[in-house]
Structure 1
Amino acid sequence: MTVVTIGGVTVGFCILGYYLTTWWPGHKQLLKDPAKHAASLLPFLLSWSYGCLTVLGIGGLIGWTAQTALWITSWLGDVALVWGVGTSAGQAAGNPVYLPLTQTGGAVVLILTAVMVVLARKPRYGTQVKLGAWCGITLGTSAGVAGFAAVPLATAANWLGGTVYGAVL
C-alpha cells in the first residue's frame, strides 16, 4: 500500500481549496438559494467519497490505479514543497483507520466506478467528478480524513452491497 506524504496531502487540500473557491457563489447568492448551491456540491462530494473508497480498500485494477495516482501526487507534492517553498517533505504522521470492504461492498465500488466513468465524460459534471475523485484519493489515506471518513464510507458500501445483493440473491 502506498502511504500518502505531506506533499500528497498538500495537493489534496489545494484541489479542495481550488474547487471550493470556484464553487463559492457569494454570500448573498448562497443565502438567496442555499439548497441549489448545496446541491451543486453533490457531484464533487460523491466522487470524493468514491476516491476515498478506492484508495482505502480496493485491490485489482481500480485499486492499482488509485494507488498509482496517490504515489504520483505525493511525489509531485513533495517536489513542490522542496523546490517550491523550500521546506522538507516526508511521510504524513498518524496511522489511518481502515475497514475492509466485504465482497458485496467491493461490488458496490465496481458499480460506482462505472457511474464515475460515465459522469466524468459528461461536460456538465466531468471536472467536478475528476477533481473530487483525485481529492478523495489524496486525502483518503491521511490519518485525520481516513479516521473521519473511511469507516463510515466502508460501512455504507458494505451495508448497501449486503442489502442490494441480499435482496437479489
Structure 2
Amino acid sequence: MNNTTAAVASLGCVTIGLGIALWKLIMWWRGGKKFKSLLPLVGSWGYGALAVLCAGGILGVLTSWGVGIGSWAGDLALASATGSATPTATRSHLVALSPGGSAILLLMTVAMVAILVSAKGAVRTDMSLMITSGVLTGLAGGIAGVVAATLVPVANNLGAQLTGVM
C-alpha cells in the first residue's frame, strides 16, 4: 500500500492538540507530579507526533483523517469562541521517515497497541488522548512541530542501525 497522504493542520487543529496536552499536564501536576506517571503521557505524545509524519499507508491515512477532523473541529471552536481566523499552521518543510524509520514506527505501533490493550481504563484514556494530541500538533510550525521533527532523524538513525536499511 503506497498511498501518500497530504495532511495540513490548521491553527484550530494545533490549538485542540495543545489544549489536550495542557489539560493532561495540569492533571498530572495536580495529581502529585510523579515522574513515573508522566512517562506514558510523553511517550504517547511522541508516538502520535511521529505517526502523523509518515507519508502513507494505513497509519498515514488514519492520522490524515485525524488531522482533518481536528482541523474542522478546531476551526469551528476557535472561530466560534474568539471570532479568529484559522490559518494553516503546518511547517513549510516536513521531514520524512526513511524505510528504516518506518520500520521503527511500525515497531512502536505494535508496542503502543500492546500497552493500550493491557493498560487499565484511566491510563488507556490518558495515553489515547496524548496520542491524539501528538497527531494534532505534530505537523505544526511551532515548538510542538519542531520537537516532532527532531523525532524523525532519531527514528531514521535507529532504524538504519537496527535493520541496516537507510
Q: Provide the TM-score with structure 2 as the length reference.
A: 0.85
Counterpart of 1:76 (choices 68, 73, 78) is 73
User: How far apart, in 1, do the equivalents of 2:81 and 2:161 lie?
Assistant: 49
Q: Is the 8 A contact 2:53 2:97 kept in 1?
A: no
In the TM superposition, 1:19-168 aligns within 5 A as: 19-25=24-30, 29-30=32-33, 37-92=34-89, 95-121=91-117, 122-123=119-120, 125-145=123-143, 148-166=146-164
Q: Report if the CA contact (8 A) 1:55-1:66 is conserved.
A: yes
Q: 1:90 to 1:147 in 2, by over 3 A?
A: closer
What is the deviation of 1:54?
1.2
Cα drift, residue 84 of structure 1: 3.0
Structure 1 residue 38, shift from structure 2 partner: 1.9
Q: Is the 8 A contact 1:96 1:144 kept in 2?
A: no
More helix, by proportion: 1
Amino acid at match of 1:61: I
Q: In 1, are the aligned partners of 2:50 and 2:152 still within 8 Å (CA)? A: yes
- Aligned-residue sequence identity (percent) comes to 34
CA distance in 2, matches of 1:120, 1:58: 24
Match of 1:12 in 2: 17
- Shift, 1:147, TM fit: 5.1
Alignment RMSD? 2.1
Query: Any runs of at least 4 consecutive aligned residues in structure 1 with deviations exceeding 4 A, and if so which?
Result: none
Structure 1 portions without partners, runs of 5+: 31-36
Q: CA deviation at 1:143?
A: 0.4
CA distance in 2, matches of 1:88, 1:42: 35
Equivalences, count:
158
Supply the distance in 2 between the matched residues of 1:129 and 1:21 (Cα, whole angstroms): 15
TM-score when scaled to structure 1? 0.83
- Is contact 2:51–2:60 with CA below 8 Å preserved after alignment? yes
2:138 partner letter: G
Q: Distance in 2 between matches of 1:100 and 1:63?
A: 12
Say if 1:150 and 1:97 are closer, same or farther in 2 by CA, change over 3 A.
Answer: farther
